[in-house]
Amino acid sequence: MTSPPPPVPVSLDVREYREPLPDADSYLALWQWIEPHLLRVDPREDRSLRLDLGDRGALTLRLLDPAGNPDAFGPGTEFAVRGILETPRVRYACGPCAPSGTRVYGPFQCHACNEEKGKDGGTRLCDRHVVILEGAFRTVCPDHAPACPACGRPGVFWCDGGRCRNRRAWCAAHRVPHPGDARTSYCRDCFDDRFPSCVAPRCGQTGYLRCEHVRSAGGETCPHRVCAAHAGRWQIYGPHRRGLVLCPTHLAGLRGMSREDVVFQIVAATALRRRSRAAGPALLPRLSVVRHILIHVRDEALDMGVVDALFTRLRATADGTRGGAEMATLLDAHARVREQDLDAFRGDQELGRRHYEALLRMLTADGRGQLAERLSFSDFRPKANALYVRVPPDVAGLFIGRGGSGVRDLGARLGVTLKVEKR
Protein backbone atom coordinates (compact mmCIF):
# COMPACT_ATOMS: atom_id res chain seq x y z
CA MET A 1 0.00 0.00 0.00
CA THR A 2 1.45 3.33 -1.12
CA SER A 3 0.68 6.60 0.56
CA PRO A 4 -1.19 9.19 -1.59
CA PRO A 5 1.09 11.63 -3.48
CA PRO A 6 1.51 15.05 -1.88
CA PRO A 7 -0.77 17.82 -3.19
CA VAL A 8 0.47 19.81 -6.19
CA PRO A 9 1.49 23.30 -5.10
CA VAL A 10 0.17 26.20 -7.21
CA SER A 11 -0.17 29.95 -6.95
CA LEU A 12 -3.15 31.95 -8.12
CA ASP A 13 -3.09 35.56 -9.32
CA VAL A 14 -6.51 37.22 -9.30
CA ARG A 15 -5.33 40.79 -9.84
CA GLU A 16 -6.88 40.92 -13.31
CA TYR A 17 -10.07 39.14 -12.32
CA ARG A 18 -12.98 41.61 -12.34
CA GLU A 19 -15.67 39.70 -10.46
CA PRO A 20 -15.87 40.47 -6.76
CA LEU A 21 -14.30 37.98 -4.39
CA PRO A 22 -15.64 39.15 -1.06
CA ASP A 23 -15.17 36.01 1.02
CA ALA A 24 -13.74 32.49 1.31
CA ASP A 25 -16.79 30.89 -0.32
CA SER A 26 -16.37 32.97 -3.47
CA TYR A 27 -12.74 31.81 -3.69
CA LEU A 28 -13.81 28.19 -3.24
CA ALA A 29 -16.38 28.52 -6.01
CA LEU A 30 -13.78 30.09 -8.27
CA TRP A 31 -11.34 27.26 -7.56
CA GLN A 32 -13.88 24.58 -8.37
CA TRP A 33 -14.30 26.24 -11.75
CA ILE A 34 -10.51 26.45 -12.30
CA GLU A 35 -9.51 22.93 -11.28
CA PRO A 36 -10.75 21.06 -14.41
CA HIS A 37 -8.64 23.44 -16.53
CA LEU A 38 -5.53 22.49 -14.55
CA LEU A 39 -5.95 18.82 -15.26
CA ARG A 40 -5.13 19.51 -18.92
CA VAL A 41 -1.85 21.25 -18.09
CA ASP A 42 1.58 19.65 -18.45
CA PRO A 43 2.79 18.92 -14.87
CA ARG A 44 6.33 20.05 -15.91
CA GLU A 45 5.17 23.46 -17.21
CA ASP A 46 7.23 26.18 -15.53
CA ARG A 47 5.68 29.21 -17.27
CA SER A 48 2.60 31.02 -15.99
CA LEU A 49 -0.71 29.86 -17.26
CA ARG A 50 -3.10 32.65 -18.15
CA LEU A 51 -6.84 31.97 -18.42
CA ASP A 52 -8.55 34.73 -20.40
CA LEU A 53 -12.13 35.05 -19.21
CA GLY A 54 -13.31 37.86 -21.49
CA ASP A 55 -15.48 40.35 -19.60
CA ARG A 56 -14.61 38.65 -16.34
CA GLY A 57 -10.96 39.53 -16.83
CA ALA A 58 -8.18 36.98 -16.51
CA LEU A 59 -6.69 34.53 -14.02
CA THR A 60 -3.04 33.52 -13.89
CA LEU A 61 -1.89 30.17 -12.43
CA ARG A 62 1.56 28.85 -11.87
CA LEU A 63 2.85 25.43 -10.88
CA LEU A 64 5.26 26.10 -8.08
CA ASP A 65 7.26 22.86 -8.26
CA PRO A 66 7.14 21.43 -11.84
CA ALA A 67 9.99 18.98 -11.14
CA GLY A 68 8.25 17.54 -8.08
CA ASN A 69 4.87 17.06 -9.74
CA PRO A 70 3.54 13.63 -10.76
CA ASP A 71 3.98 12.65 -14.42
CA ALA A 72 0.34 13.23 -15.18
CA PHE A 73 -2.61 14.98 -13.49
CA GLY A 74 -5.82 13.04 -13.10
CA PRO A 75 -9.20 13.34 -11.41
CA GLY A 76 -7.57 12.12 -8.18
CA THR A 77 -4.85 14.81 -8.18
CA GLU A 78 -5.03 17.14 -5.23
CA PHE A 79 -3.95 20.74 -5.60
CA ALA A 80 -2.83 23.09 -2.85
CA VAL A 81 -3.06 26.85 -3.40
CA ARG A 82 0.04 28.18 -1.67
CA GLY A 83 -0.43 31.84 -2.49
CA ILE A 84 -2.99 34.26 -3.90
CA LEU A 85 -2.05 37.61 -5.41
CA GLU A 86 -4.82 40.17 -4.94
CA THR A 87 -5.15 43.84 -5.80
CA PRO A 88 -4.48 45.74 -2.60
CA ARG A 89 -7.73 46.88 -1.12
CA VAL A 90 -8.08 50.25 0.61
CA ARG A 91 -9.85 49.44 3.81
CA TYR A 92 -9.69 52.92 5.26
CA ALA A 93 -10.51 55.21 2.37
CA CYS A 94 -10.44 58.97 2.66
CA GLY A 95 -14.01 60.26 3.04
CA PRO A 96 -13.60 63.64 1.36
CA CYS A 97 -11.89 61.95 -1.63
CA ALA A 98 -14.87 59.64 -2.26
CA PRO A 99 -17.10 62.10 -4.21
CA SER A 100 -14.41 62.32 -6.91
CA GLY A 101 -14.57 58.51 -7.32
CA THR A 102 -11.09 57.77 -5.95
CA ARG A 103 -10.30 55.44 -3.11
CA VAL A 104 -7.25 56.78 -1.34
CA TYR A 105 -5.87 55.48 1.89
CA GLY A 106 -6.85 57.73 4.78
CA PRO A 107 -4.49 57.19 7.69
CA PHE A 108 -5.95 60.06 9.77
CA GLN A 109 -9.17 60.39 11.66
CA CYS A 110 -11.18 63.44 12.56
CA HIS A 111 -11.31 63.97 16.32
CA ALA A 112 -14.52 65.92 16.11
CA CYS A 113 -16.24 63.27 13.99
CA ASN A 114 -15.07 60.57 16.39
CA GLU A 115 -16.51 62.51 19.28
CA GLU A 116 -19.85 62.76 17.51
CA LYS A 117 -20.03 59.22 16.16
CA GLY A 118 -17.86 57.28 18.56
CA LYS A 119 -14.34 55.96 18.18
CA ASP A 120 -13.57 54.87 14.60
CA GLY A 121 -17.01 55.98 13.54
CA GLY A 122 -15.63 59.10 11.98
CA THR A 123 -14.32 60.00 8.61
CA ARG A 124 -10.96 58.74 7.39
CA LEU A 125 -8.68 61.35 5.90
CA CYS A 126 -5.85 61.27 3.40
CA ASP A 127 -2.88 63.54 3.90
CA ARG A 128 -4.37 66.01 1.41
CA HIS A 129 -7.66 66.33 3.26
CA VAL A 130 -6.53 66.13 6.86
CA VAL A 131 -6.41 69.44 8.70
CA ILE A 132 -3.51 69.66 11.12
CA LEU A 133 -2.93 72.91 12.96
CA GLU A 134 0.02 74.03 15.02
CA GLY A 135 0.23 73.40 18.70
CA ALA A 136 -1.24 69.92 19.04
CA PHE A 137 -1.52 66.78 16.93
CA ARG A 138 -5.27 66.97 16.77
CA THR A 139 -6.43 66.03 13.27
CA VAL A 140 -9.78 67.13 11.88
CA CYS A 141 -11.71 66.84 8.64
CA PRO A 142 -12.32 69.90 6.42
CA ASP A 143 -15.90 70.14 7.76
CA HIS A 144 -14.59 70.37 11.28
CA ALA A 145 -11.68 72.68 10.49
CA PRO A 146 -12.01 75.20 13.31
CA ALA A 147 -12.71 78.87 12.84
CA CYS A 148 -11.15 81.51 15.09
CA PRO A 149 -13.65 82.24 17.88
CA ALA A 150 -12.76 85.92 17.74
CA CYS A 151 -13.07 86.66 14.03
CA GLY A 152 -14.25 83.56 12.18
CA ARG A 153 -11.15 83.24 10.00
CA PRO A 154 -9.62 79.75 9.71
CA GLY A 155 -7.81 78.75 12.87
CA VAL A 156 -4.09 78.13 12.52
CA PHE A 157 -3.10 76.95 16.01
CA TRP A 158 -4.64 75.18 18.97
CA CYS A 159 -4.45 77.25 22.13
CA ASP A 160 -2.60 75.41 24.87
CA GLY A 161 -4.05 77.58 27.64
CA GLY A 162 -6.24 76.57 30.56
CA ARG A 163 -9.45 77.92 29.02
CA CYS A 164 -8.98 76.31 25.59
CA ARG A 165 -7.03 73.15 26.48
CA ASN A 166 -6.15 72.53 22.83
CA ARG A 167 -9.83 72.43 21.93
CA ARG A 168 -10.12 75.90 20.43
CA ALA A 169 -8.10 77.12 17.48
CA TRP A 170 -7.39 80.74 16.74
CA CYS A 171 -6.20 82.63 13.68
CA ALA A 172 -2.74 84.16 13.32
CA ALA A 173 -4.05 87.62 14.20
CA HIS A 174 -5.34 86.33 17.53
CA ARG A 175 -2.22 84.47 18.49
CA VAL A 176 -0.05 85.41 21.46
CA PRO A 177 3.20 83.45 21.41
CA HIS A 178 4.65 81.85 24.52
CA PRO A 179 7.52 84.10 25.62
CA GLY A 180 10.06 81.28 25.74
CA ASP A 181 8.71 78.43 23.62
CA ALA A 182 8.19 79.05 19.92
CA ARG A 183 6.06 75.92 19.51
CA THR A 184 3.38 77.07 21.94
CA SER A 185 0.83 79.81 21.45
CA TYR A 186 -2.15 81.11 23.36
CA CYS A 187 -5.23 83.16 22.84
CA ARG A 188 -5.24 86.50 24.66
CA ASP A 189 -7.33 85.32 27.63
CA CYS A 190 -5.31 82.16 28.19
CA PHE A 191 -2.09 84.11 27.87
CA ASP A 192 -3.26 86.64 30.43
CA ASP A 193 -4.19 83.80 32.77
CA ARG A 194 -0.78 82.23 32.42
CA PHE A 195 1.31 85.33 32.20
CA PRO A 196 -0.73 87.97 34.00
CA SER A 197 0.82 91.38 34.13
CA CYS A 198 1.89 92.85 37.44
CA VAL A 199 -0.79 95.06 38.95
CA ALA A 200 1.73 97.78 39.82
CA PRO A 201 1.26 100.72 37.44
CA ARG A 202 3.72 100.86 34.53
CA CYS A 203 5.51 97.71 35.72
CA GLY A 204 4.99 95.55 32.62
CA GLN A 205 6.52 92.44 34.23
CA THR A 206 4.69 89.15 34.52
CA GLY A 207 2.86 88.88 37.82
CA TYR A 208 3.85 85.37 38.77
CA LEU A 209 2.68 85.86 42.35
CA ARG A 210 -0.91 85.91 43.44
CA CYS A 211 -2.08 88.28 46.13
CA GLU A 212 -3.21 86.08 49.02
CA HIS A 213 -5.58 88.58 50.59
CA VAL A 214 -8.89 86.80 51.19
CA ARG A 215 -11.99 88.77 50.34
CA SER A 216 -14.72 86.57 51.74
CA ALA A 217 -15.29 83.68 54.09
CA GLY A 218 -15.93 81.54 51.01
CA GLY A 219 -12.24 81.85 50.16
CA GLU A 220 -12.43 84.31 47.27
CA THR A 221 -9.07 86.00 46.90
CA CYS A 222 -7.85 89.28 45.53
CA PRO A 223 -7.50 88.91 41.74
CA HIS A 224 -4.30 90.94 41.62
CA ARG A 225 -1.07 89.42 40.40
CA VAL A 226 2.28 90.91 41.21
CA CYS A 227 5.87 90.54 40.12
CA ALA A 228 8.45 89.64 42.75
CA ALA A 229 9.62 93.23 42.97
CA HIS A 230 6.15 94.60 43.73
CA ALA A 231 4.93 91.80 45.98
CA GLY A 232 4.71 92.52 49.67
CA ARG A 233 5.40 89.73 52.14
CA TRP A 234 3.39 89.72 55.31
CA GLN A 235 5.54 87.55 57.56
CA ILE A 236 2.77 85.99 59.61
CA TYR A 237 4.57 82.65 59.90
CA GLY A 238 7.73 84.10 61.43
CA PRO A 239 10.97 85.10 59.75
CA HIS A 240 11.88 81.69 58.33
CA ARG A 241 8.75 80.82 56.38
CA ARG A 242 7.43 82.61 53.36
CA GLY A 243 4.86 85.12 54.43
CA LEU A 244 1.65 85.92 52.61
CA VAL A 245 2.02 87.64 49.25
CA LEU A 246 0.16 90.93 49.17
CA CYS A 247 -0.44 93.29 46.27
CA PRO A 248 0.54 96.93 46.93
CA THR A 249 -3.08 97.85 47.74
CA HIS A 250 -3.50 95.15 50.36
CA LEU A 251 -0.06 95.69 51.83
CA ALA A 252 -0.95 99.34 52.34
CA GLY A 253 -4.35 98.26 53.68
CA LEU A 254 -2.89 96.22 56.55
CA ARG A 255 -2.70 99.22 58.83
CA GLY A 256 -6.37 99.98 58.39
CA MET A 257 -7.57 96.54 59.40
CA SER A 258 -9.48 95.82 62.60
CA ARG A 259 -8.24 93.13 65.01
CA GLU A 260 -10.95 90.84 63.69
CA ASP A 261 -9.86 91.49 60.10
CA VAL A 262 -6.25 90.69 60.94
CA VAL A 263 -7.14 87.37 62.55
CA PHE A 264 -9.56 86.53 59.74
CA GLN A 265 -6.85 87.15 57.12
CA ILE A 266 -4.37 84.99 59.00
CA VAL A 267 -6.78 82.07 59.30
CA ALA A 268 -8.46 82.36 55.88
CA ALA A 269 -5.20 82.73 53.96
CA THR A 270 -3.64 79.82 55.85
CA ALA A 271 -6.70 77.68 55.06
CA LEU A 272 -6.27 78.53 51.38
CA ARG A 273 -2.58 77.65 51.49
CA ARG A 274 -3.50 74.31 53.00
CA ARG A 275 -5.94 73.70 50.19
CA SER A 276 -3.46 74.54 47.45
CA ARG A 277 -0.47 73.06 49.29
CA ALA A 278 1.49 75.58 47.28
CA ALA A 279 3.81 76.59 50.08
CA GLY A 280 4.09 73.38 52.05
CA PRO A 281 2.05 72.46 55.09
CA ALA A 282 0.51 75.58 56.55
CA LEU A 283 -0.09 75.97 60.26
CA LEU A 284 -1.58 78.92 62.09
CA PRO A 285 0.98 81.05 63.90
CA ARG A 286 1.18 80.75 67.68
CA LEU A 287 -0.67 83.23 69.85
CA SER A 288 2.53 85.05 70.80
CA VAL A 289 3.33 85.56 67.11
CA VAL A 290 -0.19 86.79 66.43
CA ARG A 291 0.14 89.20 69.31
CA HIS A 292 3.26 90.63 67.69
CA ILE A 293 1.54 90.80 64.33
CA LEU A 294 -1.13 92.93 65.98
CA ILE A 295 1.52 95.12 67.57
CA HIS A 296 3.11 95.66 64.15
CA VAL A 297 -0.07 96.17 62.20
CA ARG A 298 -2.22 98.05 64.72
CA ASP A 299 0.30 99.38 67.22
CA GLU A 300 -1.57 97.75 70.05
CA ALA A 301 -0.14 95.24 72.52
CA LEU A 302 -3.09 93.12 73.53
CA ASP A 303 -3.44 90.77 76.43
CA MET A 304 -3.03 87.19 75.22
CA GLY A 305 -6.52 86.40 76.45
CA VAL A 306 -7.89 89.07 74.14
CA VAL A 307 -5.93 87.65 71.21
CA ASP A 308 -7.16 84.17 72.05
CA ALA A 309 -10.76 85.42 72.15
CA LEU A 310 -10.42 86.75 68.59
CA PHE A 311 -9.77 83.19 67.41
CA THR A 312 -12.58 81.75 69.52
CA ARG A 313 -15.02 84.27 68.06
CA LEU A 314 -13.90 83.55 64.52
CA ARG A 315 -14.43 79.83 65.12
CA ALA A 316 -17.98 80.51 66.31
CA THR A 317 -18.83 82.31 63.08
CA ALA A 318 -17.21 79.81 60.71
CA ASP A 319 -19.98 78.83 58.32
CA GLY A 320 -20.72 75.71 56.32
CA THR A 321 -19.03 76.87 53.14
CA ARG A 322 -15.94 75.01 52.02
CA GLY A 323 -13.74 77.90 53.09
CA GLY A 324 -15.54 78.09 56.43
CA ALA A 325 -15.15 74.37 57.06
CA GLU A 326 -11.42 74.54 56.33
CA MET A 327 -11.02 77.47 58.67
CA ALA A 328 -12.91 75.59 61.37
CA THR A 329 -10.60 72.57 61.00
CA LEU A 330 -7.53 74.79 61.30
CA LEU A 331 -8.96 76.64 64.29
CA ASP A 332 -9.86 73.46 66.13
CA ALA A 333 -6.32 72.12 65.72
CA HIS A 334 -5.00 75.51 66.83
CA ALA A 335 -7.14 75.61 69.99
CA ARG A 336 -4.85 73.17 71.85
CA VAL A 337 -1.75 75.16 70.92
CA ARG A 338 -3.46 78.36 72.05
CA GLU A 339 -4.24 76.82 75.41
CA GLN A 340 -0.56 75.94 75.91
CA ASP A 341 0.45 79.41 74.77
CA LEU A 342 -1.98 80.99 77.22
CA ASP A 343 -0.69 78.91 80.16
CA ALA A 344 2.92 79.72 79.35
CA PHE A 345 2.05 83.33 78.79
CA ARG A 346 0.25 83.63 82.14
CA GLY A 347 3.32 82.25 83.90
CA ASP A 348 5.54 84.70 82.06
CA GLN A 349 3.22 87.58 82.75
CA GLU A 350 3.20 86.81 86.48
CA LEU A 351 6.96 87.00 86.43
CA GLY A 352 6.73 90.18 84.39
CA ARG A 353 4.23 91.67 86.84
CA ARG A 354 6.66 91.01 89.68
CA HIS A 355 9.43 92.80 87.78
CA TYR A 356 6.99 95.62 87.08
CA GLU A 357 5.99 95.99 90.76
CA ALA A 358 9.69 96.08 91.63
CA LEU A 359 10.16 98.84 89.07
CA LEU A 360 7.37 100.91 90.64
CA ARG A 361 8.82 100.43 94.14
CA MET A 362 12.24 101.45 92.86
CA LEU A 363 10.90 104.64 91.26
CA THR A 364 8.92 105.53 94.39
CA ALA A 365 12.01 104.97 96.55
CA ASP A 366 13.89 107.27 94.18
CA GLY A 367 11.32 109.97 94.83
CA ARG A 368 9.75 109.57 91.39
CA GLY A 369 6.37 108.27 92.55
CA GLN A 370 4.48 110.65 90.27
CA LEU A 371 6.21 109.16 87.24
CA ALA A 372 5.53 105.65 88.53
CA GLU A 373 1.83 106.43 88.69
CA ARG A 374 1.75 107.23 84.99
CA LEU A 375 3.26 103.92 83.83
CA SER A 376 1.46 100.74 82.96
CA PHE A 377 2.58 97.18 82.39
CA SER A 378 2.61 95.97 78.80
CA ASP A 379 4.48 92.71 78.35
CA PHE A 380 7.24 90.48 79.54
CA ARG A 381 9.20 88.36 77.10
CA PRO A 382 11.10 85.72 79.00
CA LYS A 383 13.45 84.67 76.17
CA ALA A 384 14.75 88.20 75.83
CA ASN A 385 14.22 88.81 79.57
CA ALA A 386 12.60 92.04 78.41
CA LEU A 387 10.05 94.02 80.40
CA TYR A 388 7.85 96.28 78.27
CA VAL A 389 6.08 99.20 79.91
CA ARG A 390 3.72 101.75 78.46
CA VAL A 391 4.67 105.35 79.04
CA PRO A 392 2.48 108.36 78.13
CA PRO A 393 4.24 110.58 75.56
CA ASP A 394 4.46 113.61 77.84
CA VAL A 395 6.64 111.78 80.39
CA ALA A 396 8.42 109.46 77.95
CA GLY A 397 11.53 111.65 77.80
CA LEU A 398 11.68 111.84 81.57
CA PHE A 399 11.48 108.06 81.87
CA ILE A 400 13.83 107.17 79.04
CA GLY A 401 16.49 109.67 79.97
CA ARG A 402 19.24 111.18 77.86
CA GLY A 403 20.17 108.73 75.10
CA GLY A 404 18.20 106.01 76.90
CA SER A 405 20.40 106.14 79.98
CA GLY A 406 17.38 106.27 82.32
CA VAL A 407 15.78 103.00 81.17
CA ARG A 408 19.18 101.32 80.94
CA ASP A 409 19.99 102.14 84.58
CA LEU A 410 16.58 101.04 85.82
CA GLY A 411 16.81 97.81 83.81
CA ALA A 412 20.27 97.07 85.15
CA ARG A 413 19.06 97.54 88.72
CA LEU A 414 16.05 95.27 88.07
CA GLY A 415 18.07 92.63 86.23
CA VAL A 416 15.99 92.86 83.04
CA THR A 417 16.09 94.68 79.72
CA LEU A 418 13.60 97.48 80.21
CA LYS A 419 11.76 98.63 77.07
CA VAL A 420 9.17 101.21 76.31
CA GLU A 421 6.27 99.76 74.33
CA LYS A 422 5.68 101.49 71.03
CA ARG A 423 2.74 103.68 72.09
Q: Which stretch binds Zn ion (CB under 5 A): 26-34, 226-234, 359-367, 389-397?
A: 226-234
- β-strands 8-13, 176-177 pairing: unpaired
**What is the footprint of Zn ion within residues 235-264 (CB under 5 A)?**
247, 250
Among 124, 174, 259, 273, the residue binding Zn ion under the rule CB under 5 A is: 174
* Closest distance to Zn ion from the beta carbon of 102 (Å): 8
**Residue 159 makes contact with Zn ion by CB under 5 A:** yes
Among 59, 148, 302, 416, the residue binding Zn ion under the rule CB under 5 A is: 148
The smaller minimum CB distance to Zn ion, of residues 27 and 105, is found at 105
**What is the footprint of Zn ion within residues 280-309 (CB under 5 A)?**
none
Among 203, 279, 342, 360, the residue binding Zn ion under the rule CB under 5 A is: 203
**Residue 200 makes contact with Zn ion by CB under 5 A:** yes
**What is the footprint of Zn ion within residues 70-109 (CB under 5 A)?**
94, 96-97
The smaller minimum CB distance to Zn ion, of residues 190 and 407, is found at 190
* Closest distance to Zn ion from the beta carbon of 180 (Å): 18
The smaller minimum CB distance to Zn ion, of residues 80 and 252, is found at 252
**Residue 210 makes contact with Zn ion by CB under 5 A:** no
The smaller minimum CB distance to Zn ion, of residues 139 and 378, is found at 139
**What is the footprint of Zn ion within residues 112-141 (CB under 5 A)?**
112-113, 126, 128-129, 141
The smaller minimum CB distance to Zn ion, of residues 14 and 97, is found at 97
Among 82, 138, 144, 374, the residue binding Zn ion under the rule CB under 5 A is: 144
Among 73, 108, 158, 161, the residue binding Zn ion under the rule CB under 5 A is: 161
Residues that bind Zn ion (CB under 5 A): 94, 96-97, 110, 112-113, 126, 128-129, 141, 144, 148, 150-151, 159, 161, 163-164, 171, 173-174, 187, 190, 198, 200, 203, 205, 211, 213, 222, 224, 227, 230, 247, 250
